[in-house]
Amino acid sequence: MVRSGTTTKSKVVALAASVALAAGSIVATASTATAAPGDRATFATGAQARGIAEDASGTLWVTNVGANSISKVALDGTTITYASAISSPFGIAAGSGGGMWFTSDTNQVGRISPEGAIQAYDVGNASAGIALGPDGNMWFTMPNATPARVGKVTPTGAVTTYETGGVSFNFITPGPEGSNRMYLASSSSGDLGIVQMNGSYSAITGPQGSTSSNHIQLINDQIWFIPVLANGTARLTRLINDSGFVQVANAAMPSPFYIGEGLDGTMWVGDFNQTISHVTTGGAVVATYATGGLVRQALQAADGNVWATVGDGVTRILTGVVPTSSAAPTLEPTTGLTAGATAAASNGSWSYAPTSYAYQWQVCATSEATSCTDVPGATGQSYTVATTDVGKYIRVGVTASNLNGASQPAYSALVATGAAPAPAPAPAPTPAPATGAFASIGNGVTMELDAPLRQKRKQRKTYDVVFTADDVQGT
């Protein structure tokens, strides 16, 4: 296992305007008050880190082409690296049946389990790009095959390849939802390609003058790619209805070459000038950060930060994304909170990988949240109801923090407090059974049984009952 956390201050360019950052640095596994968007931390994985992808749990996987290995990287930077019997692992993507699939410059593609076990599947030639298709299979490009081909491998390892009209493709991405197709781009042709799920191929003529493409990616249900002209000029471009194009020209991206997925339908575009730009699907550049080296691939991970393969490892770039609440905290218990009782708070659910939580308890004069005020010093995860709280309401605010800073507080529902119930009255004593001629029957009344001392056998027995109170019913 490898742990590393080299941190670097960076500059931020917002809409092509350079802005100096405040001083400060970050620690690889903890939030720091002086952390700022653009701050970087690097984590070694292996020689020539290349592909990067996220699994269903939010863990990152990185291929190390020069080290013949694959690294599993947690969002705190903890890294576990597995040797690969398949040499030069290249592209990597999450599969539908669990595990990560990767390509290589051999005639095999591989699947690596969460525990690092690798299975190899013969595909007949070297492979490059790889992506999960809408059919649940992994589709990959084979740019060196003769004739040119793409392939698919099922979750059980069955491989099928399809010709692509003589055009060698390097990059692949699924099409928009419902299209049931894969889109292809080539580093040796300006045209794009489409492969249906049955393997049928069709070509899309690229933008006028384009001779190749640097990348292609599905972003927010739209196909984006980077065509390159003969003079080397590259432009971030959106495909319209499989025939038209909208290009984005921005000084912050003079030579784009890679498109990574971002949050909320945005993208992160790597540039040969060793920067990465946050771009909306409208083409607006939100911010540009220095990367400290050439970015090979990148994505915005579950912690809200950008992770990119640079050099011999991954670089994490802070984006300023703080946690957001997806489910409010709760209190337990929600009834019977009397003076001296203790209420405990849950953290609720949060996005963007919180690393710590803070609590503030409030007392509310009414059932309206506007009547709530902080209880001084009540900052633990539990709270003991005070006598002065009785007849009011309590709630808790939870604030989550990650490397980018603290969230807005998320509040629990208000819970009523009340006085302890009065003790139950003591039960009336049960009279002892009478054993003599006299018995008490309650309310100060006594009863005397006057029976004859002797009585002849087989004769009716008669008794007199004498009460000490007047007007006793039945006498």
Mean pLDDT over residues 20-32, rounded? 28
Give pLDDT tens digits for 200-222: 999 999 999 999 999 999 999 99
Partners of 201 in the β-ladder = 195
CA distance 52 to 377: 45
Q: Assign 209 to helix, strand or coil.
A: coil
% residues pLDDT > 90 (the chain) = 80
pLDDT at res. 370: 97
Please determine, for residue 265, whether its predicted confidence score (pLDDT) is greater than 90.
yes
When mean pLDDT is compared across 192-201, 270-279, 309-318, 453-462, the lowest value belongs to: 453-462
Judge whether 109 and 119 are in contact, CB under 8 Å.
no
CA distance 253 to 235: 8
What's the pLDDT band for 171 if we cut at 50, 70, 90? Answer: very high
pLDDT at res. 167: 97
Mean pLDDT over residues 51-62, rounded? 97
Provide the Cα torsion 192, 196, 201, 203; round to 10°.
Answer: -30
Tokens 């390892």 correspond to: 157
CA distance 295 to 259: 11
Q: Which amino acid is at 387?
A: T
What's the pLDDT band for 98 if we cut at 50, 70, 90? Answer: confident
Mean pLDDT over residues 108-132, rounded? 98
pLDDT at res. 421: 54
What's the pLDDT band for 159 if we cut at 50, 70, 90? Answer: very high
CA distance 12 to 371: 42
What is the overall mean pLDDT for the chain?
A: 88
Please determine, for residue 426, whether its predicted confidence score (pLDDT) is greater than 50.
yes
Per the model's pLDDT, the better-predicted residue between 398 and 423 turns out to be 398
pLDDT at res. 16: 29
Question: Has this prediction a pTM greater than 0.75?
Answer: yes
pLDDT at res. 12: 39
Mean pLDDT over residues 92-117, rounded? 96
Please determine, for residue 296, whether its predicted confidence score (pLDDT) is greater than 90.
yes
Judge whether 90 and 65 are in contact, CB under 8 Å.
yes
Degrees to nearest 5, angle at CA 370 with 366 and 376: 85
pLDDT at res. 35: 83
